[in-house]
Structure 1
Amino acid sequence: MKNFIKIISNRAIIIGLLILLQLGLLFAIIVRFEEYFVYFYTIYIMVSAAVIIKIVNNRSNPAYKIAWIIPIMLIPIFGTVIYLVFGRIRFTKEEKQKMSLIQEKEKEANLKTVCSVTIDDGNEDAKIQSNYLSQYGEGALFKHTSSQYFPLGEQAFKAMLEELEKAEKYIFMEYFIVEEGKMWDAILEILERKAKEGLDVRFIYDDFGCLTTLPHHYYRKLENMGIKSCVFNPFIPVLSPVFNNRNHRKITVIDGKVAFTGGINLADEYINEVERFGHWKDNSIMVKGEAAWGFTLLFLSLWEFIYKNDDNIADFYPDFEEDHLVDSEGYYQPYVDSPFDAETVGINVYLNLINRAKKYVYITTPYLIIDNLLMEALCTAAKGGVDVRIIVPHKPDKWYVHAVTKSNYSQLIEAGVKIYEYTPGFIHSKTFVVDDLYATVGTINLDYRSLFLHFECGVWMYKTTSVMEVYEDHIQTEAMSQLVTLEEARSISWLRKVGRATLAVFSPLL
């Protein structure tokens, strides 16, 4: 009985039931008024035509358009209703303008606090990428920075605890998933203690990401501990496009001098304290120096948007002169991608890396759900002699997403791309490393939600020591993975082929 009560009182179960109830109510209304079918159908045709024209003419990805047009045409009435509820970007014009003003404030603060840096070694490819991120990714270029790449979540966790203990002024954190357990409990103990010592401690978590992992209104508990907290995009059980745009970013900032980003969330499977899909292979990178200030600005911009306060950003700028920062060999550029605008920063960074590669492109990603642009870029690079290798999980976390990932194997392998599956379990890291020169570490998966709908972040690096650390990690991970042959990719039943093909059509919605 207790288990039954626990199940039916679960927030996710309640929300799911409420949404199903609303869908059922819509269906009941339609059935109730079926005698007026002719009038309903005429209105439906007119509305559907308008919606399809709108979809065709908007700036979204073509595959995303097709994935919505098909249900609108195949499922009378419901297809259009479902699109109007779930298919649109939810941010209003006023919200977009508000974020634009915050970003301008962020740029001004950056110009006042950090000396302007440009790539001046003659590499035009690097310069073009950096210029693009400066204009559209909210990311300034930094040089006075050191970094350490962590191939596993448990290594990053240990370093994170050590750096959090050193905090003297403030700690800013934002994560998609937070779950009570060894990892979060250890971090929370430090955050509470530091807040009591008078530090400015702030935390953002995504409500949908934490739907099944944290109690409702968990932010109140954090506030009672002295931790300023806010929930990104609070999830309400009403048919709404609120589902679409989630905060998938992972950022920790300490005093503006140290920052972490990467694939790991704050839950025990990310540090292999709990086994869900075999060994969980994840990563993180720690930057120390001016690039950490870049992540501070990224956090503060979203904080101001959600929390609705008006900080003087310059107050958070650290005194780097006391630290005697080394003149790092390479360059670092933190960046974000968000649905506030039509600029698809994440995919453009990846496309630029692929298209400008001369020797190799090595990629790790938990999902390989790519559109025609990425498919053609990867295949063309491989056909041109670039060594393209991609590592994906062997044990999936979502069977239907993994089925779509596998549906892309044949075309890529035929073009010369090498696909590896991480045999020990699930790989969640999202990395690109190219030609011993460039690397990205961050939160952006190779799937439609990451590339077009979610708030994401990462750090682009050029000629840094961590570029080669990412490379070494890829080689070592590859040694633990199995190469997928073309014969294996093709050797599936016709029924499975049909299933994968069907899922692939709707992959932008997964």
Structure 2
Amino acid sequence: MGKNEPGKAKSGLSRIIFSRTGFILLLILIQLGLFIVTTNLLQSYALFINGTLRVVGVVVLIYIINAEGNPAFKMTWMLCVMAFPAVGTLFYIYVKSQVGVRWMGKRLATLKIETDPYMMQDMDVVDALRASKPANANLAYYLAHHMGFPTYRNTEVTYFPLGEDKFDALVPELKKARKYIFMEYFIVEKGYMWDTILKILVQKAREGVEVRFMYDGTCAISNLPYEYPQELERKGIRCKMMNPIRPFLSTVQNNRDHRKICVIDGRVGFTGGINLGDEYINRKERFGHWKDTAVMLKGDAVQSLTMLFLQMWNVDEKEEGHYTRYLTPRRQGLRRELGYVLPYGDSPFDNENVGEEVYFHILNHAKKYVHIMTPYLILDNEMITTLTRTAKSGIEVIIIMPHIPDKWYAFVVAKTYYRELIRAGVQIYEYKPGFVHAKVFVSDDDTATVGTINLDYRSLYLHFECGVFIYNNSVVDRVERDFQETLMKCHKVSLVELRNRSLFSKITGQVLRLFAPLM
């Protein structure tokens, strides 16, 4: 093979090492190393400082025990503080001080106030929902009045059982754009899918359509050049890299934008698990066949996706956003057959676990079944209790997991939960053709949610996420039908199979589970 041509991007590990991102990651590692070395030196040579740190460590442990928050996170921090008194204590204090994070939480709270007038709940919708299913009305009230996510009617929902199905629908909708295109994605990787979309975005920008594109900063590690936003700006596309990797230690690096949102002219919106990479549409094979899902909304509920995008876009903007120009025209009349549609978002800075609350709601109010697809299964005690109690109550609970994982360590940890779930009556299946990246709950032929939220700590507590809760819309039948079709390609996991796992896999999973909240 010949040498790389001048100007051609390096690939693989060398591209990371010799890039600006590699330099930033090196600086972060150096800072972390200095932090540990300095702490150890203080512990070794200063008896007074060491004693002081131990006292502080005890105070920190008392604080952790009494603090609000998830018990699993508390246990992990307690383990760190007790195992490494100096480093663990100081690092916990550093993390809790929220260096580099406080401004974002405050800014998002301000943006929520700005967008509240455009996210008002029509109480007639809630009243109608209460007459149909009071429990869902309670969820709607919570999400509208406390989180700012209203429930809508008059919204058509199309479900895509594969990434290629969503892509085939997205391309023509992008070509129809006349006013604006908003896109927000976690992963963007050059290839057929992104090249096709980019060509349309560039053409639309030339036609005078306002095009905004936002992606998570982790893409700069290996997928895109660090200066990619400037490259798109030169093509007429307004672009932002959300939460870029920066050369300083900060907990903000842990809060990724995991959302996948596309809004076109306020008339159509997309969300779900599908990123912008060729593996998501099975044009490139990674981990076997890639099973993913998405939904397309047309109608009143698109406005919530628009506002979710604008809130994130305006985080680093100084002026108030011009929201009125992007409002969704409301449909006249009432189409009862479309039921109720509730788009929602989740933020790590509002002390509300919206995604998990939606999942709890579906599990707690199921009458016949709850069917789940998720790529990861790293659960806190509340979720384990809810899943097992639901199954013990005679409700059919089935979880479809990947058979070919993308992260081996997450997979061995997931298997440590299998035994307890299966013994309680939860059925676990693995998708034999490959990898399941879908994030779907469907229940009782009338309720479903499709979005970006995995059943793991990162999605439920640390990332920016989104989803759509759907009730009494015919698309729920399509979601359940897809689940059953997927189930036919799956292998049911048994207790015998779990017992026959290798000793290495069992021990590795049990050890890594200690650090599950950090995975």
- Structure-2-length-normalised TM-score: 0.92
**Corresponding residue to 2:490 among 471, 476, 481:** 481
Residue of structure 2 equivalent to 1:232: 242
Residue of structure 1 equivalent to 2:365: 356
* Contact residue 183 and residue 267 of structure 1 kept, 8 A: yes
Residue of structure 2 equivalent to 1:372: 381
The letter of the residue matching 2:67 is N
Aligned length: 508
* Contact residue 59 and residue 342 of structure 1 kept, 8 A: no
**Corresponding residue to 1:438 among 444, 447, 451:** 447
Q: 2:481 & 2:68 partners in 1: Cα distance?
A: 38
Q: 2:301 & 2:199 partners in 1: Cα distance?
A: 27
Residue of structure 1 equivalent to 2:184: 174
**Corresponding residue to 1:122 among 118, 132, 154:** 132
Q: 1:67 & 1:277 partners in 2: Cα distance?
A: 31
With 123-132 and 246-255 compared, the bigger mean Cα shift is at: 123-132
Q: Deviations over 1:363-396 (max 9, x none)?
A: 0000011111111111111111000000011111
**Corresponding residue to 1:313 among 323, 330, 333:** 323
Q: Indicate whether 1:103 and 2:112 are aligned.
A: yes
Residue of structure 2 equivalent to 1:214: 224
The letter of the residue matching 2:165 is Q
Q: 1:509 & 1:464 partners in 2: Cα distance?
A: 37
**What is the CA-CA distance between 1:55 and the residue it aligns to?**
2.5
Q: 1:144 to 1:424 in 2, by over 3 A?
A: same
Q: Indicate whether 1:204 and 2:214 are aligned.
A: yes
Equivalences for 1:144-163 in 2 at 5 Å?
A: 144-163=154-173
Q: Deviations over 1:334-355 (max 9, x none)?
A: 0011012111111111111101
* Contact residue 63 and residue 371 of structure 1 kept, 8 A: yes
Q: 1:290 to 1:224 in 2, by over 3 A?
A: same
Q: 1:11 & 1:451 partners in 2: Cα distance?
A: 31
**Corresponding residue to 2:401 among 385, 392, 399:** 392
Residue of structure 2 equivalent to 1:329: 338
Residue of structure 1 equivalent to 2:33: 24
Residue of structure 2 equivalent to 1:463: 472
**Corresponding residue to 2:438 among 403, 410, 429:** 429
The letter of the residue matching 1:443 is T
Q: 1:346 & 1:110 partners in 2: Cα distance?
A: 18
**Corresponding residue to 1:188 among 159, 174, 198:** 198
**What is the CA-CA distance between 1:305 and the residue it aligns to?**
1.9
Q: 1:116 to 1:170 in 2, by over 3 A?
A: farther
Q: 2:74 & 2:480 partners in 1: Cα distance?
A: 36
Q: 1:172 & 1:84 partners in 2: Cα distance?
A: 38
SS in 1 for 2:240: strand
* Contact residue 250 and residue 261 of structure 1 kept, 8 A: yes
**What is the CA-CA distance between 1:479 and the residue it aligns to?**
0.5
Residue of structure 2 equivalent to 1:290: 300
SS in 2 for 1:138: coil
* Contact residue 369 and residue 447 of structure 1 kept, 8 A: yes
Q: 1:415 to 1:115 in 2, by over 3 A?
A: closer
Q: Indicate whether 1:506 and 2:512 are aligned.
A: no
Q: 1:98 to 1:238 in 2, by over 3 A?
A: closer
Q: 2:16 & 2:312 partners in 1: Cα distance?
A: 34
Q: Indicate whether 1:58 and 2:67 are aligned.
A: yes
Q: Indicate whether 1:38 and 2:57 are aligned.
A: no
**What is the CA-CA distance between 1:141 and the residue it aligns to?**
0.8
**What is the CA-CA distance between 1:308 and the residue it aligns to?**
3.5
The letter of the residue matching 1:177 is I
The letter of the residue matching 1:171 is I
Q: 1:341 to 1:278 in 2, by over 3 A?
A: same
The letter of the residue matching 1:416 is G
Q: 1:381 to 1:254 in 2, by over 3 A?
A: same
The letter of the residue matching 1:352 is H
The letter of the residue matching 1:406 is K
**What is the CA-CA distance between 1:324 and the residue it aligns to?**
8.2
Q: 1:64 to 1:447 in 2, by over 3 A?
A: same
Q: Indicate whether 1:411 and 2:420 are aligned.
A: yes
Q: 1:460 to 1:417 in 2, by over 3 A?
A: same
SS in 1 for 2:188: coil
Q: 1:487 to 1:136 in 2, by over 3 A?
A: farther
Q: 2:145 & 2:177 partners in 1: Cα distance?
A: 32
Residue of structure 2 equivalent to 1:271: 281
Q: Indicate whether 1:223 and 2:221 are aligned.
A: no
Residue of structure 2 equivalent to 1:347: 356
Gaps of 5+ in 1: none
Q: 2:396 & 2:386 partners in 1: Cα distance?
A: 13
Q: Indicate whether 1:247 and 2:257 are aligned.
A: yes
Q: 1:201 & 1:324 partners in 2: Cα distance?
A: 31
SS in 2 for 1:260: strand
Percent identity between matched residues is: 44
Residue of structure 1 equivalent to 2:7: none
Q: 1:27 & 1:320 partners in 2: Cα distance?
A: 57
Q: 1:298 & 1:77 partners in 2: Cα distance?
A: 41
* Contact residue 176 and residue 210 of structure 1 kept, 8 A: no
Q: 1:359 & 1:276 partners in 2: Cα distance?
A: 35
Q: Indicate whether 1:280 and 2:260 are aligned.
A: no
**What is the CA-CA distance between 1:420 and the residue it aligns to?**
0.3
Q: 1:19 to 1:171 in 2, by over 3 A?
A: same
